[in-house]
Amino acid sequence: MAKDSLTVKDNRTGKEYELPISDGTIKAMDLRQIKTGAEDFGIMTYDPAFMNTASTKSAITYLDGDKGILRYRGYPIEQLAEKCNYMEVSYLILYGELPNKAQYDQWVFDITHHTILHENIRHFMQNFRYDAHPMGMFISTVAALSTFYPEATKIADKELRTIQIQRLIAKVPTIAGFSYRHTRGLPHVYPDNALSYPGNFLNMMFKFTELRYEPNPVLERALDVLFILHADHEQNCSTNAMRAIGSSKVDPYSAMAGAAAALYGPLHGGANEEVLKMLAQIGDVKSIPAFLDKVKKGEGKLMGFGHRVYKNYDPRAKIIKKVAEDVFKVTGRNPLLDIALELESIALKEDYFISRKLYPNVDFYSGIIYQAMGLPVSFFPVMFAIPRTVGWLSQWQEMLGDEEQKIARPRQIYTGVDERDFAPMDKRK
Ligand code: CMC
């Protein structure tokens, strides 16, 4: 008997099966041979919410939730956040290696030369209501881009794929900037290609009457680091959506609109918005114990805490805490930070959180920084979506090249009524 195998005995039949183990995993399809008879479909696994199912092999991001480790293409997140900018990291995530000087220059050139949006897109965005949620505008506009680039449906063409990837990475800050200006009733600011990726983003958000917008270097760098930290996170909810939608072979704009919609939810990228609402609602450090009592009774969640994979401090949250200090030196201290720090300190001593291994995640401190930078709370999920674009697209591309992948189509256990005969309306109860 092979050592790397699992012996399964079916007590219904007394038969034994040997299932190969590789990478600590058995293949769900290997269970299908376990049957009680020829009519039997075979054993399936039941795993709502993918609690214990690897849906793919991936070489992009490594995460060890117990140890609090996060690496992109093998590089620890701490090193990338300290030594790189987002353009280098996005190249790394997409291509697998950090760029050399020539590759970097070409990459920056390619991205900056796709930052402009078609004027019709600008007009399209002007039709949103003045109080439209920025994430709703983001999702719809990304989807609308597919109508501008019909060649994007040719997803088997690597060159065309690369152009769509560059377009999306380049245009998402412009979409975000336009949506912000729209809600403020301000004229749109066109991209300034002489600025860095985060610097240009700040320009499109905050430029007023000055001839040339000069981003504050501390805020520009802080944003670069935040973008690095959000660039990818293996098979999270929105990435899983990107892969699932992409597996139908739809164009990347449509798939990414779906991924962004998944991100919008309050349990995922919408959590940073919820954290700020929660901190504002708590209002004062004195109210923290009463708030935590409610959480412990199951009357609400401590937003920005907990993670499906991290059962230790989220390494991104540690870095963000440091970034916050730099930002506050420029913007002044966000008073909500005191509530957040106290909340964390009390929660980490409480048995409820310790026993469930609930620690601050990436969303706990990011919103406090964004707010200090002058961004409205509703805009925070967009700040997650911009840098995650490269993660979604890299995972999508990896999925397309993976011969083991097919259209994503889970099974179900049917729990409805058995076959019955149609009843005309006058015979129905
Ligand atoms: N506050 C209070 N209790 C919590 C929290 C929380 N934030 N998170 C989990 N729990 C409890 C949960 O009620 C459950 O308790 P019990 O065992 O008594 O039923 C236990 O901890 C296990 O939680 P779970 O819901 O089974 O865990 P999950 O892996 O399904 O959910 C999560 C992960 C992130 C959705 C969840 O922790 C949560 O809702 N957190 C708040 C929202 C949030 O901050 N989301 C951002 C995630 S990080 C950024 C990203 O990748 O999107």
Domain positions in the chain are 74-265, 271-372
Query: In this structure, which amino acid lies at residue 379?
Result: F
pLDDT at 3: 86
pLDDT tens for each residue of 357-395: 999 998 899 999 999 999 999 999 999 999 999 999 999
Q: Which residue of 278, 305, 346 sits with most ligand 1 atoms within 8 Å of its CB, as the best mutation to test the pocket?
A: 305
State pLDDT tens for residues 283-336.
999 999 999 999 999 999 999 999 999 998 899 999 998 999 999 999 998 889
Length of the chain: 429
Q: With a 6 A CB cut-off, is 194 part of the ligand 1 pocket?
A: no
Please write the tens of the pLDDT for every residue from 84-110. 999 999 999 999 999 999 999 999 999
Q: 154-189 pLDDT, tens per residue? A: 999 999 999 999 999 999 999 999 999 999 999 999
Stretch 184-209: mean pLDDT: 96
Over residues 146-153, the mean pLDDT reads 97
Q: What is the pLDDT of residue 335?
A: 87
Look at residue 352 in the predicted model and tell me its pLDDT: 96
Is the pLDDT confidence value at 2 over 90? Answer: no
Mean pLDDT confidence for 1-6: 87
365 near 317, Cβ under 8 Å?
yes
Q: Give the CATH class of 74-265.
A: mainly alpha
Tell me the two tokens of residue 269. Answer: 């990228």
Which pLDDT score, from 0 to 100, does residue 1 have? 72
* pLDDT grade for 5, boundaries at 50, 70 and 90: very high
User: How buried is residue 381: exposed, middle or buried, by Cβ count under 10 Å (0-12/13-18/19+)?
Assistant: buried
363 flagged as catalytic: yes
22-69 confidence digits (pLDDT tens): 999 999 999 999 999 999 999 999 999 999 999 999 999 999 999 999
Tell me the HSE value of 61 on the side-chain side, using a 13 A CA sphere: 27
Burial 286-315 (b: 16+ CB within 10 A, else e): eebeebbeebeeeeebbbbbbbebbbeebb
- Ligand 1 pocket: which of 361, 364, 395 to mutate (most atoms within 8 A of CB): 361
Q: How far is the CA of 233 from the centre of ligand 1 (A)?
A: 17
The region, left, alpha or beta by phi > 0 then psi within -120 to 50, assigned to residue 227 is: alpha
For residues 203-222, give the mean pLDDT. Answer: 96
**Dihedral sign of CA atoms 193, 199, 205, 208 in order:** negative
Average pLDDT, integer, range 259-274? 93
Measured torsion, CA atoms of residues 402, 408, 409, 410, in degrees rounded to the nearest 10: 90
Residue 41: the pLDDT is 96
Q: Which CATH architecture has domain 271-372?
A: Orthogonal Bundle (1.10)
